[in-house]
Amino acid sequence: MHIHILGICGTFMGSLAILAKQMGYRVSGCDANVYPPMSTQLEEQGIELMSGYEVSHLMPRPDLVVIGNALSRGNPMVEHVLDNRLAYTSGPQWLRDYLLKDKWVLAVAGTHGKTSTSSMLAWILEYAGLNPGYLIGGIPKNFNVSARLGKSAFFVVEADEYDSAFFDKRSKFVHYLPRTTILNNLEFDHGDIFPDLEAIQRQFHHLVRTIPSNGLIVCPAADQHLQQVLDMGCWTPVDTFGLGPKQKTDGHWHAELLQLDGSAFKVMRYNEKQERCLEGEVHWSHNGLHNVSNAMAAILAAHHVGVATNISAEALCQFQGVKRRMDKLAVINDITVYDDFAHHPTAIASTLQGLRARVGNEARILAIIEPRSNTMRMGTHKTQLAPATVDADEVYWYQPADMDWRLQSVIDESQVPAFLFDSIERIINTVVGQVRSGDNIVIMSNGGFEGIHQRLLKALDSMENDE
């Protein structure tokens, strides 16, 4: 069977292509821009890549065309598929029909932390010897590939609420048939397709309706938006957890911090007699309460498929993280540079809070931020951006040329020194002129950011060589 994928270099579609190839299908695909790292990963898997959306890419006629959600009517290949009645489907529907229907699916949904939590969960199952398959919207460093078929019934999937295709506006995750489901958190996002938070909650409710009564839902006890979703109707057992000393709303599980930055914590459980039980300890290289919450969710999900909590804790001690999630790029002249995927004000805030807790108040944090997500470009979160950066010492904002609004209001409202640039070169020159030994630089964007990462490292290296 020959499958051709439109939009193959997207994170989800590229991972799907890898799975299809591992299942023995002939896989080809095209995208508007074929570029690393996804193009490299696909070529290494023996997948045929074509640049652009030329109708000739569909000749000879494939058996099935999988259409990514970035494509819409008017695209020449989409029009050719429809005019010539080629068989087609969406990526999430293909995943359900060809793979997930026969698996114990562990789905990770939520506004934040899906990639990190999915990676933690996949690694826990791997460490426990369960050899899971997975599809993750990033590259877990413990695996170094974003998807694999696995050799067991268990399959971990990052369950995105974004729509499926131009012909299917349901959220991707309603296709996935999960038995174990993590609902990490819920805030308003994706303002380009959802009018308000209630519309997103409705999609999460649709997901909850697909989870069987012998399944499990894992969620933080304190998230009111998720509780409102569950109040709409829930037919599945729910395990909740909290952070810190057990409160009434903490549920049966909670994390007890051993280090304030989240780099070490105990996993505690209250049994039926309300006796406090130590289930395991995690000592790892990661920080931030958001990562502790992600870890707790992964531990509880793994517990549902039979992994002892102490084994999960051992696994997380060896969890290497995910590329582009507070990924330490380099240390040059005692200046540490990180790459982070932050796509939402809450993600920006939690990342900076975690780093501040780790480095203390004496070390400086310089944040370089591109507000690239569709929601931030629309200005939906404009009033939340300045408050999200209070844990930085200086913030360098990049104004994309095609953004719908000006960032000057964020600069004006900032509680810390903030600067606005419309040139990557100017950001680099300014940062290099301001940075000093012991500083921490965090580059935040969910895109390529015009190659600023390597350009900045090169400039810092040149600065070191000049001294």
How would residue 131 be classed by pLDDT, with cut points 50, 70 and 90? very high
- DSSP classification of residue 325: S
- Note the Cα 351 to chain centre separation in Å: 13
In 187-275, where do the E strands start and end? 216-220, 238-243, 253-257, 264-270
How would residue 247 be classed by pLDDT, with cut points 50, 70 and 90? low
pLDDT average, residue stretch 159-178: 96
pLDDT tens for each residue of 79-127: 999 999 999 999 999 999 999 999 999 999 999 889 999 999 999 999 9
- The residue that leads in pLDDT, 195 or 266, is 266
In the chain, what is the straight-line distance between the N-terminal and C-terminal CA atoms, in Å?
60
Three-state DSSP class for 148?
strand
pLDDT average, residue stretch 233-252: 81
Q: 370, 433, 359, 420: which is closest to 392 by C-alpha?
A: 359
Element (H, E) at 330: strand 327-332
Distances (CA, A) of 177 to 88, 115, 152, 212, 393: 21, 19, 17, 9, 45
pLDDT average, residue stretch 152-176: 96
How would residue 403 be classed by pLDDT, with cut points 50, 70 and 90? confident
The pLDDT of residue 249 is above 60: no
In order of their start, the domains of the chain are 2-89 (3.40.50.720), 99-317 (3.40.1190.10), 327-466 (3.90.190.20)
pTM of structure: 0.87
pLDDT average, residue stretch 159-187: 96
Three-state DSSP class for 242?
strand
Most confident stretch, 10-19, 43-52, 76-85, 263-272:
76-85
Neighbouring-strand partners of residue 155: 105, 133
Q: Using the structure block, give the residue that is written with the tokens 């809450």.
A: 346
- Note the Cα 239 to chain centre separation in Å: 22
How would residue 191 be classed by pLDDT, with cut points 50, 70 and 90? confident
Distances (CA, A) of 83 to 1, 77, 86, 402: 22, 10, 8, 33
In the prediction, which pLDDT does 466 show? 56
CA geometry: angle 165, 346, 297, nearest 5 deg: 75
Distances (CA, A) of 92 to 16, 76, 126: 9, 22, 24
In the prediction, which pLDDT does 379 show? 74
Q: Using the structure block, give the residue that is written with the tokens 């690694």.
A: 123
Per cent of the chain over pLDDT 70 is 97
pLDDT tens for each residue of 27-72: 999 999 776 667 888 988 889 999 999 999 999 999 999 999 999 9
How would residue 284 be classed by pLDDT, with cut points 50, 70 and 90? very high
Average pLDDT value for the chain: 92
Handedness of CA 339, 341, 342, 348 (dihedral sign): negative
How would residue 246 be classed by pLDDT, with cut points 50, 70 and 90? low
The pLDDT of residue 163 is above 60: yes
The pLDDT of residue 331 is above 70: yes
State the CB neighbour count (10 A cutoff) for residue 328. 12
60: which 2 tokens? 């000879």
Q: Using the structure block, give the residue that is written with the tokens 């996002």.
A: 189
